[in-house]
Amino acid sequence: MKKIMAFFLVVVMFMSMGLASCATKETATDYSNEENWLALPTDPSKDVDVFYLYPTGYFKSSDDEPDVCKIDNEMMVSNAQGAFQRQATAFETVGNIYAPYYRQADAGTCLSLSLEDQDELLSGATKSDVFAAFDYFIKNYNNDRPFILAGHSQGSNMLLYILSEYMKENPEVYDRMIAAYVIGYSVTDEYLSENEHLKFAQGADDIGVILSYNTQAPDVIGDNPVVVDGANVINPITWTTDETLATAEQNLGSIMLNSDGSVVLDENNEFKRVMDYADACIDLDKGVLICSTADEDSLAPGNGIFPRGVYHSFDYPFYYYNIRKNAEHRINIYMNAQ
């Protein structure tokens, strides 16, 4: 009997070791290696930092490719650099920008799943990288400066994990957050009710808040895969949450994109500022931001992921200079309050 019990205990021990091994947290990318950062400031002399997570840049070309790419995937690296140019640079005048590379899930695979399965997919290598990068940023680069979070699409989805988990566990860090621009993904009523330490912005002057919207034309037919029931929306021209129309004339300026996704430049080789182009009006029933003045046929003809009329790639470009001005405004309010 003793031999049988000993054998049984050994089996149980190895089974437990096996289960523990299966449950081991995904090994994160090493962010002490500067090659794993898309952007690090050479002279972090500004009083505020910006931590930026780019949108999906990895797309499988065949079913044989992995659902989550490697950290040095050439497609992701190239697309991340392009996204940085048309999004993160909105904050370059107000903060020191830190942007890690992180292992991403293929957009088509991820968005085809249920929300629960999306969470399971993203909670592996992707989440491990994002948390490791943010933690390294806080402990090694930030030096207790106030900061802004900024992201788009999959990057914004990952910011929601940081906000709900990291900030809850580290309230002293959350106290230094000026605002979180969680653009291109939904921040739902359910998410906010489950995370009572978080709050959605109600106006242009709030600090320590989340801002979010998803832009589309008025006549979209079909589902926008990044819009979830109960999504909260803020108008990026007026920074209000009601359905009052903000006209294109009120817009502080848009940027336009070339066919390769790069920003159109002017004669001085600077971003060409396009005036009177994009209006903005919240549709509370749909949980989206409506732009009725853009060229739907050329900018959003539809693809395998988004239906015609979804201006997902233009969430930042349409309201680029409004975002910059608002970040500057919220920073001033935060600094004056200290």
Main-chain phi, psi angles of 175, to 5 degrees? -60, -20
Main-chain phi, psi angles of 274, to 5 degrees? -100, 120
Residue type, 23: A
pLDDT band at 100 (very low <50, low <70, confident <90, very high): very high
Residue 24 pLDDT exceeds 70 = no
8 A C-beta contact, residue 287 and residue 186: yes
pLDDT of residue 11: 37
As a whole number, mean pLDDT of residues 199-206 equals 97
Residue spans per domain, the chain: 33-337
Contacts of 202 (CB under 8 A, 6+ apart): 209, 240, 241
Contacts of 327 (CB under 8 A, 6+ apart): 90, 91, 94, 95, 148, 178, 179, 181
d(CA 197, CA 174): 9
pLDDT of residue 149: 98
- Token pair for residue 215? 């832009």
Main-chain phi, psi angles of 160, to 5 degrees? -65, -35
Mean residue pLDDT across the chain:
91
Q: 208-233: per-residue pLDDT in tens?
A: 999 999 999 999 998 999 999 999 99
Percent of the chain having pLDDT more than 90? 81
pLDDT of residue 107: 77
As a whole number, mean pLDDT of residues 309-332 equals 98
pLDDT of residue 25: 60
Residue 8 pLDDT exceeds 60 = no
Higher pLDDT, 56 or 119: 56
pLDDT band at 16 (very low <50, low <70, confident <90, very high): very low
- Token pair for residue 89? 């640079």
Higher pLDDT, 318 or 6: 318
Tokens 């046929």: give the residue: 297
Partners of 282 in beta bridges: 289
Helices (H), the chain: 2-23, 74-86, 107-111, 115-122, 125-136, 154-161, 167-169, 171-174, 189-194, 296-299, 320-337
Q: 57-89: per-residue pLDDT in tens?
A: 998 888 888 889 999 999 999 999 999 999 999
The per-residue b/e assignment along 125-160, b for 16 or more CB within 10 angstroms, e otherwise, is: bbbbbbbbbbbbbbeebbeeebbbbbbbbbbbbbbb
8 A C-beta contact, residue 148 and residue 327: yes
d(CA 307, CA 97): 33
Residue 122 pLDDT exceeds 90 = no
